[in-house]
Structure 1
């Protein structure tokens, strides 16, 4: 018997689904429960003053399909009737959208909840294994996404239902372990005295790490952007960049292993976002796996847990589509995050 909750009330099709970040917003329309999502070009948030304007001009004005419902994943906390995005000026106002855009039902969730939903919605062809293992079909899962920041969410299974668990695990304390770490960490930029995981494991974190390595060795930090460091590290043209990438995947493996222990992620650990996709060769060089499995006394358990890079460019939309098709399959908390007309 399924766990009963508000999600048993199905969404009315067609459903607009949207993954809205600080820089880009991705949208699609799900015509019915059997259809593939109809994708639209990626929207640059800076090109539109409001999300309502973006949806109207970039989506609704380009199709004859009139969505009845919307499921939106946003990069920011969902609290109240006016939802501010963390890294752009858009404000999501569901009640206003219902009044002016014709929606009868709107659900707004956190962007990493959508990424967690994708961990059970994606096919094997969209998963690149970086740690072999034997996943359990209903085993808990963890999603980590080093990008602009470090997003994280869990996914647990109970009562025939998948429950996404959003969190702020990217802000846990992160400290030195090896002798080399002890040389580098004093040079890392801190926030209010802390080195959190996000201070290393995101785009600006990679730059932070690169500069700290250079400072520790008394060398010049000539690379200035994550893209420059990643490119030089993958090419092997800059020794500091090579070490920065190696340490980046080592630290990511260490944190991923910690989160896997917390959630007992027998269903696997999933790395998402553009950074992970770009550094797959480094993630496969053995350093990520060694750090991931180095969790004595539970090394044997860790070796049974697989880790993947999600390679689908629209993974969050896949997760949202899976939820829109069958809300009863997922225990998405909608109290205070679902708005209906009438």
Structure 2
């Protein structure tokens, strides 16, 4: 592993966003080109990232990358990087040799989402509720998906600094009378309920099954897609309540992150779940929970919240960094490997 102060990479640059379920890749030919997107790859279809890239992408393009910037769902530490919610172990040294790359940078997937927030226009986001963006102020990003990703984005010295972390694993507890009824039926991890146990795909199922158990009713729906589909259509009462509670709990955690980062530049909800349940997030529950932060409710009412609607926001963030790395304070020490 090598580090230096030169943040520039050699084009063409492969950019990738690897989540717990799917991997998305694109090729950036130069600093002025739009990313060339490749088909989405399910991580379970391939034994490793090298196999996925070689067989499904590099064998099918005449332009071969010289560098790579990859965002992964998990903390980046050491020469072997296991994904939190998927079976791959990312080994940058193997990527260098197997794919004939000169340079590889690995960052957290929600750093990439934070990078995207710095350059998202109105066409890539939808505002939920009141509040106005304070230019150059801090932002927060939350993404319910296979897990719950959280990151901050701070601005100083004309530079955007993404702040990765594991904020999705903070503790959450019951507040309302309904919460206290369903909480005993939630599935904990080692005795506690974390935000990620509620605010991700399996979290939707956790809430739905707890709602059904609390009311002593059957729970015929078997996956998060079914629950969200029935909730959006209004065809299953337990599903409707589950997504309403999901929106409430997401609002509570988003409000917590807004205060932690003093995110007057906005709080952004990324990921496919946020887009799919957008009609539910437009209802009062999300924003009401976000603002219910006494003694700071007045402050929270001034902070805007957005759903990121850009279809490949993380790749857009990586492309922005690849084009102009000096604009972003991405730490590469311990996260950059060269051949």
Please give the range of the TM-score, normalised by the shorter of the 2 chains.
over 0.9
Match of 1:102 in 2: 100
Shift of 1:7: 5.7
Calculate the TM-score normalised by the size of structure 2. Answer: 0.96
- 8 Å Cα contact 1:29/1:67 also seen in 2: yes
Aligned to 1:134, what secondary structure does the other structure show? coil
Corresponding position of 1:42: 40
> Could you tell me which residue of structure 1 aligns to residue 229 of structure 2?
231
Q: Which runs of 5+ in 1 are unaligned?
A: none
Corresponding position of 1:153? 151
| Alpha-carbon distance between aligned partners in 1 of 2:134 and 2:6, rounded to the nearest angstrom | 26
Secondary structure of 1:191 counterpart: coil
User: Does the 8 Å contact 2:248/2:289 carry over to 1?
Assistant: yes
Residue 115 of structure 2 contacts residue 320 of structure 2 at CA under 8 Å; is this kept in 1? yes
**Partner SS, residue 134 of structure 2:** coil
Match in the other structure for 2:63: 65
Identify if the C-alpha distance between structure 1 residues 295 and 31 changes in structure 2 by more than 3 Å, giving closer, same or farther: same
Q: 1:8: Cα distance to partner?
A: 4.6
Aligned length: 337
2:130 corresponds to: 132
* Structure 1 position 239, deviation (Å): 1.4
2-side partners of 1:157 and 1:6: how far apart? 23
- How far 1:46 moved relative to its partner? 2.3
Partner of 1:300: 298
The correspondence for 2:207, drawn from 206, 209, 212, is 209
For 2:36 and 2:95, the matched residues in 1 are separated by: 21
Hey, what's the Cα distance between the residues in 1 that align with 2:282 and 2:172?
23
* 1:7–1:327 Cα contact (<8 Å) kept: no
Partner of 1:274: 272
Give per-residue Cα distances to partners, 1:179-219, cap 9 Å, x unaligned: 11111112211111101111111111111111111222222
Residue in structure 1 matched with residue 142 of structure 2 by the alignment: 144
Deviations 1:195-254 (A, max 9, x none): 111111111111111111122222222222111111111111111111111111011101
1:53 matched to which residue of 2?
51
Contact 2:21 2:146 survives alignment (8 Å)? no
Residue 335 of structure 2 corresponds to residue 337 of structure 1: yes
Corresponding residue for residue 192 of structure 2: 194
* 1:327 alignment partner in structure 2: 325
What is the TM-score with the length of structure 1 in the denominator?
A: 0.95
Q: Distance in 1 between matches of 2:7 and 2:115?
A: 18
Helix, strand or coil for the counterpart of 1:108?
A: strand
Q: Which runs of 5+ in 2 are unaligned?
A: none
Whole-angstrom CA distance in 2 between matches of 1:288 and 1:104:
46
CA contact (8 A) 2:85 2:146 kept: no
CA distance in 2, matches of 1:194, 1:210: 18
Aligned residue number for residue 81 of structure 2 = 83
The correspondence for 2:91, drawn from 93, 99, 106, is 93
